[in-house]
Amino acid sequence: MFALNLPVFEYKIRQFEGKTQIFDFLRRKFVALTPEEWVRQHFVNYLIVSKGFPAGRLSNECNINLNGLKRRCDTVLYDEYLKPLVIIEYKAPEIPVSQTVFNQIAAYNMVLKVKYLIVSNGIKHYCCRIDYEHQKVEYIESIPDYKDL
């Protein structure tokens, strides 16, 4: 696949019915290996191993209802009360992280109302903190450790 700006980890890949699949640790199953999925698996591993995010509070492909339409958040981190805390959106490495991507994740946040939004294409990673009290969005230089959320 692609070299990413994320730590390398030991992943499981298999061929199934002529298609390449990668094992999703969180969903506990093999899923189609797309460029976006490659980014997701690396980023989730990074969050767990490097940033101390508890695996048991992360969920991939979370369903939400947005204005009567079914949508899926790529990854959601829940707090100790199982309230959504972070939404993470992934794009394939060749897709630039643009305002359109932030508009997409902001729309998901209209439903979940999290404190942090993260977007990554595996090469560039962006994080912002939502200050609901002052109605501001603050971009953060790096992805915070779990203990700092």
Q: What is the pLDDT of residue 140?
A: 95
Tokens read off for 107: 């729309």
Pick the closest to residue 109 from 126, 87, 90, 129 (CA basis): 87
Q: Considering just the CA atoms, what is the radius of gyration of the chain in Å?
A: 15
**Chain centre distance of CA 68:** 23
**Rounded CA separation 10/137 (Å):** 35
Q: What is the pLDDT of residue 2?
A: 82
Give the pairing of strands 84-90 and 136-140. unpaired
**CATH fold for domain 13-148:** tt1808, chain A (3.90.1570)
Evaluate whether 76 touches 62 at the Cβ level (below 8 Å). yes
Evaluate whether 59 touches 78 at the Cβ level (below 8 Å). yes
Tokens read off for 57: 């509070």
Q: What is the pLDDT of residue 72?
A: 93
For the entire predicted model, the pTM comes to 0.94
Report angle CA 130, 40, 43 to the nearest 5 degrees: 70
Per-residue pLDDT of the chain (149 residues; tens, 9 = 90+): 789 999 999 999 999 999 999 999 999 999 999 999 999 999 999 999 999 999 999 999 999 998 888 999 999 999 999 999 999 999 999 999 998 998 999 999 999 999 999 999 999 999 999 999 999 999 999 999 999 99
Task: Provide the residue ranges of all domains of the chain, joining segments of one domain with +.
Answer: 13-148
